Structure 1
Amino acid sequence: MRAIFCEQLGGPEHLVLREVPAPTPGPGEVKVALHARGVSYVDVLMIAGQYQVKRDVPFIPGSEAAGVVLEVGSGVERIAPGDRVLVPGGYADEVVVPAARVTPLPATVSFETAAAFRANYCTAYYGLQRGRLQAGEVLLVHGAAGGVGLAAVDVGKLLGATVIATASTDEKLAVCKQLGADHVINYTQGFREQVRELTADRGADVIYDPVGGDVFDESMRCIAPFGRLLIVGFTSGRPALAKTNHLLIKDAEAIGFTIGALSRLDPAREQKNFSILLGWLAAARITPYVSHRLPLARAGEALALVRDRKVIGKAVLV
């Protein structure tokens, strides 16, 4: 089978396509033929050696995929060959995973949509839980055309918030509107004054920030009293230093979170959230957006598109 390997840390140009023996499932394991694989910013950081969790080279990047069960090991009862499933797979033709990590895929959900779903939407939903978002509140989403940002727009609207989305181009903002954003702002022209104008000078109740840097600094100046500023990441390359006087004056909070921490510290909650989201996905109440579909052999190109912020929502390898 084919697999993409990271054999030295660095940029996407270092990825190598190899032919390797197909894996064989052992007891309690499931072998899956992958039809679609999600490509994320975490993968960009992972192959560069810049993610919080380090991996030894060589390794196969990727963490979410969808496909069809080929074979099951002894002791596996609830899964059978031919089942459509969602798995924590990588950039390869086939993968073997523990049966406990295999999720049946609703018939209404395509492989591509499934591969674009779990990481982004679980992150967004958990973040909005941490931010205690309530129906009727104003949610400001930065980097709203990126994977976790667009998922926050989608979920925030479903939860009943008034959503303000910021992004860098009109094309990206149009997709944000398509997924339910009530207001959109091109942040290259600034956003603080527009947010204050849209909220009658009150500010946003919850601010979802995967960008950091200057965006975080300006967000502190347009947060509502008792507001919650969610620290999702630092795609700007600069973690911000919170000016705590702004938090003090507004009686506001800055809240950090990661889906990885939730998985380690409260796996039952993480699984419950995922089940809720999967139900919404099956009912078409949320809509993962895929802007780029590339063949597996072009994984490096897909990662470069993500790195260079050319992707809206998600890129998938098919």
Structure 2
Amino acid sequence: MKALMSTKVGGPDSLEMLEVDNPVAGEGQVVIDVKACAINYPDVLIIQDLYQFKPPRPFAPGSEVSGVIAEVGKGVTGLKVGDRVASATGHGGLVEKVAADYNSVFKIPDSVSFEDASALLMTYGTSIHALVDRGHIKEGDTLLVLGASGGVGIAAVELGKAFGARVVAAVSSEEKAEFAKAAGADETVVYGRAPFDKDESKALAAQFKAAVGPDGADIIYDAVGGDYSEPAVRSIAWEGRFLVVGFPAGIAKLPLNLTLLKSCDVCGVFLGAYAARDPAGNRSHVNRLFKLWGQGMIKPRVSEVFDFADAGKAIQKMADRGAMGKLVVKVAD
């Protein structure tokens, strides 16, 4: 089978399309004929050895796929050959066939396209875990989302509205602001490109404070990091929750006195570790996501579909922070 492989540390141009052996379903696994693979920011990091998990090479990036079950291993229940499914693979998704643990595999409705289905588990899974388990979101909360036009960000916007929050979307351009508004954002903040000097940081904090209102943001969803995090924390509410989701702008360094002054929580969000430690909780979240999707309250926003041969271009666009919504690679018809 064909597989887009990382054989050495590097960027998307270092990936190679290779012929590799077909996987076999081990105990508790299924083999999926991959139809689509969504691209996420960890795909940018993992091929550079910058992600928290470093698989042995050669490996394929790609952390969420959709397709059709081709083989079922021993001990698997509730799934059969021919089922249309989506799976969070962690890595290894940019291949024609992938073996996946059945706990990470979910049936998808016939009405859902493979491209849309591939774009649900990582972004919406991250955001529902972040908002519900870590942010304890409730109706009436004010939610500030940094990086609100990206995959996890736009999912947080939609879920925030579904859960009854007032959502402020922070983005880097007017085009992205319109995209976030179309997803339901109540208000937007357009910020400049870091690095920021002291005055620029204070000015951004003032923008955030004006947008979230005098009581501050009950939840801050930070999918950006870098110089954007401290100004956001300065706009947090008393006993607010600051959710650490990602670092495309770099790992932030927060003055901890701010957490004391606001009596706020800084909460890490790591979907992969959560799903491994609590698969039942993760499955409950995914079931809730499908229900919300069926009710029209959320829908993966796939902005561009790439051919399998151009998967590296999709990862490069993600690295350049040029993506709005989800980028998806079509692996097979």
Distance 1:109 1:284, change over 3 A: farther
In the other structure, the counterpart of 1:202 is: 215
Residue 166 of structure 1 deviates from its aligned partner by: 0.7
Q: Which has the larger displacement, 188-197 or 220-229?
A: 188-197
Distance 1:163 1:50, change over 3 A: same
In the other structure, the counterpart of 2:300 is: 288
Whether 1:117 and 2:120 are equivalent positions in the alignment is yes
Deviations 1:108-133 (A, max 9, x none): 32111111110111111111121112
Q: Which has the larger displacement, 53-62 or 101-110?
A: 101-110
Residue 272 of structure 1 deviates from its aligned partner by: 1.6
Pairing 1:90-239 to 2, within 5 Å after superposition: 90-129=93-132, 130-188=134-192, 191-237=204-250, 239=251
CA contact (8 A) 1:109 1:282 kept: no
Residue 212 of structure 1 deviates from its aligned partner by: 1.5
- Take 2:253 and 2:28, find their aligned partners in 1: how far apart are those partners? 47
Residue 267 of structure 1 deviates from its aligned partner by: 2.7
CA contact (8 A) 1:106 1:282 kept: no
Tell me the SS of whatever aligns to 1:254. strand
Deviations 1:228-287 (A, max 9, x none): 1111122112x2222222222222222222112312333322222122112222333211
In the other structure, the counterpart of 1:58 is: 58
Distance 1:105 1:124, change over 3 A: same
Tell me the SS of whatever aligns to 2:260. helix
Distance 1:97 1:260, change over 3 A: closer
In the other structure, the counterpart of 2:266 is: 254
Residue type of the alignment partner of 1:50:
L
Residue 61 of structure 1 deviates from its aligned partner by: 1.3
Residue 24 of structure 1 deviates from its aligned partner by: 3.8
Residue 28 of structure 1 deviates from its aligned partner by: 4.8
Residue type of the alignment partner of 1:126:
H
Residue 199 of structure 1 deviates from its aligned partner by: 4.0
Residue-pair matches, total: 317
**Which of 261, 266, 269 is the aligned partner of 2:278?**
266
CA contact (8 A) 2:176 2:324 kept: yes
Q: TM-score, normalised by structure 2?
A: 0.89
CA contact (8 A) 2:37 2:66 kept: yes
Tell me the SS of whatever aligns to 2:300. coil
Distance 1:228 1:23, change over 3 A: closer
CA contact (8 A) 2:119 2:326 kept: yes
Structure 2 gaps, min length 5: 194-202
Residue 178 of structure 1 deviates from its aligned partner by: 1.0
Deviations 1:136-179 (A, max 9, x none): 11100001111111111111110000000011112211111111
Residue 84 of structure 1 deviates from its aligned partner by: 1.0
| RMSD (Å) for aligned C-alpha atoms | 1.9
Tell me the SS of whatever aligns to 1:48. coil
Residue type of the alignment partner of 2:176:
K
Deviations 1:13-69 (A, max 9, x none): 010011233334355543322111011111111111011111111111112101122
Residue type of the alignment partner of 2:235:
C
- Take 1:140 and 1:185, find their aligned partners in 2: how far apart are those partners? 10
Misfit runs of 4+, over 6 Å: none
Q: Which has the larger displacement, 204-213 or 249-258?
A: 249-258
Identity %: 39
Tell me the SS of whatever aligns to 2:55. coil
- Take 2:163 and 2:144, find their aligned partners in 1: how far apart are those partners? 14
- Take 1:216 and 1:76, find their aligned partners in 2: how far apart are those partners? 43
